[in-house]
Amino acid sequence: MTQLLNGKVALITGAGGGVGRAYALLLASEGCAVVVNDLSVTPEGEAAEPGAHLADNVVAEIRAAGGLATADHGDVSDPEQARAMVARAVNEFGKLDILVNNAGIFRERPFAEMSWDDWTAIIDVHLHGSFLLSQMAFQLFVEQGHGGVIVNTASRTALRGKELQANYAAAKGALISLTQTIALEGKTHDIRAITICPRGLTRGWENAAITSAGPITDELRSRFSLDAPALALLFLVSDLAADITGRTFFASAERISEVRWEQALGLNPTSETTVHDLALSAARNELTYSGAFDANRIS
């Protein structure tokens, strides 16, 4: 059977577990050589036990199944280590075609009590790490001359906000805007940029006794399996999605669909428009959404 990504090379960050591991296994099974990056930290970004290299296990799994993979233990938020990840793809596999910025950490705190460290740790890994690697991959794609795909990872939290997640929501929202801009600038170079908001049961969920979806049960595990986010990624990085760029996709076992911000019909102000006209328009649901789109209902 033809493999969808035969001869392609991908760098996937944070691929030692969770969503990233599922991405790496599926892409490798479709003929893609994968640089499996993971810093092996706790969900909050603290150093894990010394000597733990999650990426090595995933590389072993891929190789055992006959695929091509190499491990990288670098930190995506460190410019030199990010550069080394891209260099590893070129040194080991000769090029880079696909970058998936997936590495992530999570620190839930009430907004009023969020420390500077809790803020910067999240922004560094998600936003700064994705910026660094996206820019390095973009430059390499232009140099190589045959295009490429950049995937950034956001969350529904970016579109609707969430209590205790100001740092995470801000980083993820910025990633959607960054990706849209990379897509615009990438068009002339055949570079596509896409955002995926995955949802699936990973260690962050496992660590919680109860989640917003209910207690962790086998039913929940299969309802939020990681197969669907991986399938969505495979489609989006393949040539089957050659026309898709600058868009944001939600991907879970319950639904794979595009999500976006929308603008309400509103009112065209003139020099005669008063603040009371705006109040009247708002009361008539013209200024605001009249129910056609509700970020809280994104599921």
Ligand X SMILES: NC(=O)c1ccc[n+]([C@@H]2O[C@H](COP(=O)([O-])OP(=O)(O)OC[C@H]3O[C@@H](n4cnc5c(N)ncnc54)[C@H](O)[C@@H]3O)[C@@H](O)[C@H]2O)c1
Of 25-33, 40-48, 235-243, 279-287, the segment contacting ligand X by CB under 6 A is 40-48
φ, ψ of residue 69 in degrees (nearest 5): -160, 155
Query: Is 168 designated active site?
Result: yes
Q: Which residue type, as a one-letter code, is found at position 200?
A: G
* CA pair distance 110, 13, nearest whole angstrom: 28
Q: Residue 11: which of 22, 29, 24, 1 has the closest Cα?
A: 24
- 169 scored as a contact of ligand X (CB under 6 A): no
Report the relative pairing of strands 214-215 and 210-211 from DSSP bridges: antiparallel
Task: State which residue, 256 or 264, has the beta carbon closest to ligand X.
Answer: 256
Report the relative pairing of strands 214-215 and 256-259 from DSSP bridges: unpaired
* CA pair distance 289, 45, nearest whole angstrom: 38
Burial class of 185 by CB neighbour count within 10 A (0 to 12, 13 to 18, 19+): exposed
> What is the nearest approach in angstroms of ligand X to the Cβ of residue 201?
7
> What is the nearest approach in angstroms of ligand X to the Cβ of residue 195?
11
Number of residues that bind ligand X (CB under 6 A): 33
- 13 scored as a contact of ligand X (CB under 6 A): yes
Helix (H) or strand (E) run with residue 143 in it:
helix 129-144
Of 88-96, 195-203, 213-221, 235-243, the segment contacting ligand X by CB under 6 A is 195-203
Task: State which residue, 67 or 74, has the beta carbon closest to ligand X.
Answer: 74
Q: Which one is catalytic: 93, 106, 131, 168?
A: 168
Q: Which of 63, 146, 187, 203 binds ligand X (CB under 6 A)?
A: 203
Of 96-104, 137-145, 158-166, 281-289, the segment contacting ligand X by CB under 6 A is 96-104
- 173 scored as a contact of ligand X (CB under 6 A): no
- 38 scored as a contact of ligand X (CB under 6 A): yes
So which residues are the catalytic ones? 168
